[in-house]
Amino acid sequence: MRIRRARLDELEFSLVEPFETSFGVERRRRFLLLTLESETGEEGFAECVASRDPAYSSETTETARWMLSRYLLPFVLTARTIDARRFALAADRWRGHRMAKAVVEMALADLEAKRRSLPLYRWLGGRRTRVEVGVSVGIQPDPRTLVRRVGEYLSAGYRRVKLKVRPGWDATPLARVRKEYPDLRLWVDANQAYPPTARSRIVRWATAHNVEQVEQPFPERALHAHAALVATAKFRVCLDESIVDTTSLTEAIELRALTSLNVKPGRVAGLHAARTLQAQAARAHIPAWVGGMLETGVGRAHGIHLATLPNFRLPGDLSASDRYYADELIDRPFVLGSDSTLEVPRGPGIGVDVDARSRRRHLVRSRSFGQ
């Protein structure tokens, strides 16, 4: 197919409550929404997961906009024929910028599935029509507030809860939550907050409070430290930021540095890369799950479709629409089912449309490319 036009919108949404991690606090999310229009008039949508500030990643909305405007969108618009797979292969000529590449690849995937009248999950090779999800809870002002928030999410129907932790906010809040909810399926995520020397301390509090999974406790390149944790832990050790491609996953598998894998398509250059990583993990008998990055409904839709693939066996961070935003970007918000699942949209492509009024309300600036 050929791409006739591209539209790059910068939007800003307020979160329903501050979301605090070891990187800092987010109250508003500024992100890029890409719309690609084919020569026959269909539109494909995707959102870039890069944040305004270089905290979680070196990529930001500014670097992504520059990469998209200078290289990626001109390439797509001048290609005689293009699809998601061809783009992913061609984009390897430019180093890095995985989040910028991902938004183009995912918009092309949405467009390609629509042109074939297929829901995206069928186009990807998935089969499930509902996917199990959990909820991620940021660092709270105090343990009492944390316990209350966890209780509210459990009442809403979530069965798996992931708590953000960091040095100084781990053992005590975990103890309070576990005491109140002894049967809770409990995960934690450190976002690289601990030095490798903290391994014994992590094992103590994670074991004492029956934590099922500890995610990315050490810096992304500290694979040997993660391997040492795997060797002594009775809980799963999950890698996220450490895994950016098949090479990094191969190294981690060879070192036995993980027993679970978090895959975020917007972080690893798109859906094809994410599908490859989950298949590679499956061959090593490592379960995977789909992570989230505070996406609106567009990004969440892509993640839900991806989560239907076979090795996404653990509940993902793909919460219902009202978890993060009171005002959604899509026309049909995602609603949590009583079994802690979300329904996979059945329509062509991602199966949801961008709500034009919501886009106008939250628009910061916009630029069009092409005819």
The residues annotated with a catalytic role in the active site are 164, 264
Nearest CA to 306 out of 100, 109, 16, 93 is that of 109
For 224, the token pair is: 């040997």
d(CA 220, CA 249): 12
In 10 A of CB 198, how many CB atoms?
A: 17
Task: Burial-class residue 334 by CB neighbours within 10 Å (0-12, 13-18, 19+).
Answer: buried
Indicate left, alpha or beta for 176 from its phi (over 0: left) and psi (-120 to 50: alpha).
alpha
| Pairing verdict, β 24-38 and 43-48 | antiparallel
Strand order in the sheet with 363-370: 43-48, 24-38, 3-21, 363-370
Q: Hey, what's the torsion of the CAs at 133, 349, 295, 214, to 10 degrees?
A: 40
